[in-house]
Amino acid sequence: MTKILLSLHVLAAIVAIGPVTVAASMFPPAARNAHAAAATAAGGEADLGTVRLLHRICRVYAKLGLAVPVFGFATAAVMGVLSSGWLTASIALTAAAAGVLVAFVLPRQDELIGSLGGGKALDRADTAQLAMFTGAFNLLWATVTILMIVRPGSTTGA
């Protein structure tokens, strides 16, 4: 059972969190491109569509990402490591990453799409702040991934 749960946990992380990290990272430059294209004769509708698609990927896969901690808790319970320090740290960092995504990344993406769709001016600071939040989100997930692999102080032998 442990191997099945662990496999589901890892697959959920790859399939759900991977697309969020990539799409969120692509969003700020795509928003800048959409703003620049809107100033041209073409109007930038394709670029705005790209920005909207990236945002939708972030929203949908963030919801799918809820499977990661669900399978993670189940795996940890079966392995008997729920009280391990590395797991507690991973849980806290996962919660922080989810908080950054829900409180900062997704709402800021919404605001930028609204600005782009409304033809409002967009400056580099608008996308730079989003890029910073996205970088923090990605760094938190990278740290969780490292903790899951290294598991400092683990006595499970795996």
Domain-wise residue ranges, the chain? 2-150
Low-confidence ranges of the chain (pLDDT < 70): 41-44, 153-158
CB proximity list for 109: less than 8 A, separation 6 or greater: 24, 27, 54, 55, 58, 130
Query: Which has the closest alpha carbon to 52: 40, 41, 60?
Result: 60
User: What does the pLDDT read at residue 153?
Assistant: 67
User: What does the pLDDT read at residue 28?
Assistant: 96
User: What does the pLDDT read at residue 111?
Assistant: 95
| Distance set, CA 121 to CA 26, 28, 79 (Å) | 20, 15, 53
